[in-house]
Chain A
Amino acid sequence: MSTAAALPVPGPRIGLLGWLTTTNHKHIGILYMTTTLGFFALAGLMALVIRADLTVPNHPIVGRQTYAELFTLHGTAMIFLVIAPFGLGIANYILPLQIGAPDMAYPRLNALSYWLFLLGGLVVMSGLLTRDGAAAAGWVAYAPLSTTGSPGSGMDLWIVGLLMVSASSIMTAINLIATTVLYRAPGMIMWRIPVFCWDMVVTSLLILMAFPPLAATLAMLLIDRRLGGHAFDPSQGGSAVVYQHLFWFFGHPEVYVMVLPYFGMITEIIPVFSRKPVFGYTAFVLTTLAIAGLSMAVWAHHMFTTGAVLNPFFSAMSLLIAVPTGIKYVNWVGTMWRGSIVFPTAMLFAVGFLLNFLIGGVTGVMLASPPIDFWTEDTYFIVAHMHYVLGGGSLFAVFAAVYYWFPKITGVMLRESWGRLQFWLVFVGFNATFWPMHLLGLWGMQRRVVTYPALPGWGAANLVATLGSAVLAVGVLVFLWNLWVSLRHRVPAGPDPWGGYTLEWATASPPPEFNFETIPPIRSERPVFDLHHPRASS
């Protein structure tokens, strides 16, 4: 802490014009993260209305059109505007620091990416202001429901907005790869970059493979809708099945775009708070590559019930992807094994990730079996599964990452007392909301319904889910309060409040404009640990 006093006053005061024109990776990272927080609040409010609507059977509180817009925008925002871009945002800030670089490889491209992302998100949401309302065909926008079935301009705005977001993601992916390949500090060979950086490189490769097909599919949708195209019109030789293939060819790699960065983040956090190196660094990197490769060949497991795909192939590939994902648990448990573990809020959320993601993981293995899909596809079982992956998994890792890197980014600590309270509220609220949905799905409650009949158990399970969502919402309010309080009454963090391993902890908090005065020698993936424990590292 004593060195912190000598460092420049934290908080980049660059003014409005500065924020609008910045090309500094740290400012852009902050812009990304605060923007995703805004979209998260919006999409979270939508989810609360959805849950309120489903509280009791046969008593919807919103209209059918409004309900369809709500679940469409909730899914779209959480996926395209929150979980995926938060990973890119935090990578923007942290990745150059972790590899010892002064900035991203292409700073102006980086700024363009951010502004395209913000604009795209606003364009998607602007559908709410149109006469016919926003897009209402679900986040998957299956044709022909999204073409002939959705005449309103909200659907066009959704398509154009997501085209911008996909262009933005492609540029950021190129930037992250180029930065990691070209701008590593001397000694930082690829087998020494932190696992988070590896995961961002692999995520970027997945973006480069998955987002161009998405952009092409969105363009085809727009052409079908406005320029008289027939790509997805069965009466003119187009195909509704092909739409699903194209969409999921993007959509399943996208799941890993929303998961791999968070694997990386908690694999930074768990070793530091266990005071051990990551267990099986090489295995971790190889399994990340294996997941990425396999994820390009599992898309049609979203189509097992169409009767139009080679189910056994996609079933086998989907089951296979459980192997490298399972090895990650060997990495995480092995890292904690015989460690010396402390549990600040960041570590609590990381452990919460391990517990929740495991449930999403094993239900994912079930869903790799076509016969089980015949039963559970498009029911609340799927809703439960994917919220355990993306909410209980990725979102918990978002909170872990915020608590872990907030001191680096702002120079001040978040309050641990509020943090612990938030963790327990979010953990209990999350599980109360989504665990009953497994049962609802097995009982036959289908997705995307505005209301449901009063069948045995349905009312009770939905009531528990709605109450859970209220607890979850209180947890998020505590988080926002914690951000506010911690920024108002500043507790200086110093350069390295956690005993961190990676290079971002070898500079001031927040770091100076070009990040480093000096860089310690890099002889492993945790140079700062080596610096402080010269004897422990062989």
Chain B
Amino acid sequence: MPGGATLQAGDIHHVWNVFFLAAIGVAGTVYILIFWCILRYRRRSNALPPQFRHQAVVETACAVAALLIVAGLFALSYAAEVRIERTDPRPAATVRVTGFDWSWRFEYAGGGPTVTGTPDHPPVLVVPAGRPVHITITSADVDHAFFVPGFLFKRDAMPGLVSSFDLVVTRPGTYRGECAEFCGLDHAAMNFTVSAVTPQAYEQWLRTQRTAGRLLQFHGGRPQSRPAGAAASGVGAP
């Protein structure tokens, strides 16, 4: 499996690799034992085999070995999770993500733009590459989940709950995003794109967005900086 494109994904992928090797080691050993029994101990005569019932040493040794393995795995997983969930006190960008039936709204903090998508026009989340991006996430109606497979990461978007995490995208590029929590009819179409650009290009993008927003307001158009999802967010209500 290829690694992910964020700093956090490096940790996730490392945890995966160790768990995967442990799984192969344990399952491989057990498979060998099972196949050994199947092949070696087929019934060849009618004699009754030895009727042993216990082997306390074997049983205890296996229990202790299993306990040590899971303790090691826990330590690794816990340390990685602490790093993954660490947030930078001075993020380069802060975005409030809101899931709604059936698209996403990205609101940039500090007077930045608001990007609202529809199932037919998935929104783009533009972030500066190599810099910490702080994301707070919630939902306007039912449970959703913000999932970027290329980042090996997801976080649920739930109504009445705001949770947050940091992403540092290490490689500029565009990444496919999807909703991972079933949320109704158009669940499969609730996609988005993450576009990680150089910090200079990001600043440039912010400036164009501000200008575009002002121009739209000036001409009486529909400004992008308004929460255009206001109507859409009511979809889940009866």
Residues of A within 8 A of B (CB): 64-65, 68, 137-138, 142, 144-145, 148-149, 151, 234-235, 238-241, 274-283, 305-308, 311-312, 315-316, 319-320, 322-323, 326-327, 329-330, 333-334, 336-343, 351, 354-355, 358-359, 361-363, 365-366, 368-372, 374-375, 377-379, 442-444, 446-452, 455, 533, 536-538
Contact = CB atoms under 8 A, between A and B. Distances in A.
A517 B137 CA distance: 68
Interface of B: 1, 4, 11-12, 15-16, 19-20, 22-23, 26-27, 30-31, 33-34, 37-38, 41-45, 47-55, 58-59, 62-63, 66-67, 70, 73-74, 77-78, 80-81, 84, 101, 137, 141-143, 145, 147, 149-150, 152-156, 158-161, 163-165, 176, 178-188, 236-238
B139 to A, nearest CB: 8
Nearest to A281: B53
A351 B4 CA distance: 38
Contacts of A307: 137, 155-156, 161, 163-165
A371 B161 contact: no
Contact of B188 (A149, A451, A536, A538): A451
A26 to B, nearest CB: 31
Contacts of B238: 148, 151
B182 A338 contact: no
A370 B77 contact: yes
Nearest to A366: B19
A355 B33 CA distance: 11
A144 B180 contact: no
A375 B153 contact: yes
B44 A340 contact: yes
A326 B23 CA distance: 12
Contacts of A148: 141-142, 236-238
B180 A326 contact: no
12 contacts: A145-B184, A149-B183, A240-B158, A279-B53, A323-B63, A333-B34, A339-B41, A340-B47, A362-B26, A365-B22, A374-B154, A447-B180
Counting from the closest, the 3 A-B pairs by CB-CB distance are A444-B149, A234-B160, A307-B163
B160 A240 contact: yes
Contact of A322 (B70, B159, B165): B70
A374 B51 CA distance: 48
B12 A333 contact: no
A274 B41 contact: yes
A369 B176 contact: no
A56 B71 CA distance: 43
Nearest to A138: B182
B184 A306 contact: no
A374 B84 contact: yes
A315 B77 contact: yes
A525 to B, nearest CB: 10
A64 B186 contact: yes
Contacts of A538: 51
B188 A450 contact: yes
Given A343-B38, A375-B16, 16 more contacts: A65-B185, A144-B143, A145-B182, A145-B183, A239-B161, A240-B142, A274-B49, A276-B50, A277-B53, A281-B53, A308-B158, A320-B70, A337-B37, A371-B84, A372-B16, A451-B188
Given A148-B236, A333-B33, A365 B23 contact: yes
Nearest to B186: A64
Nearest to A447: B182
Contacts of B74: 315-316, 319
Given A149-B142, A307-B164, A533-B48, A327 B63 contact: yes
Contacts of B80: 371
A341 to B, nearest CB: 5
Contacts of A368: 77
Contacts of B237: 148
B142 A142 contact: yes
Contacts of A138: 182
Nearest to A359: B27
B31 A358 contact: yes
Contacts of B178: 444, 446
B59 A378 contact: no
B155 A365 contact: no
B51 A536 contact: yes
A281 to B, nearest CB: 7
A448 B181 CA distance: 8
Nearest to A312: B78
Contacts of B41: 274, 336-341
Given A151-B238, A323-B67, A374 B152 contact: yes
B142 A275 contact: no
Nearest to B165: A307
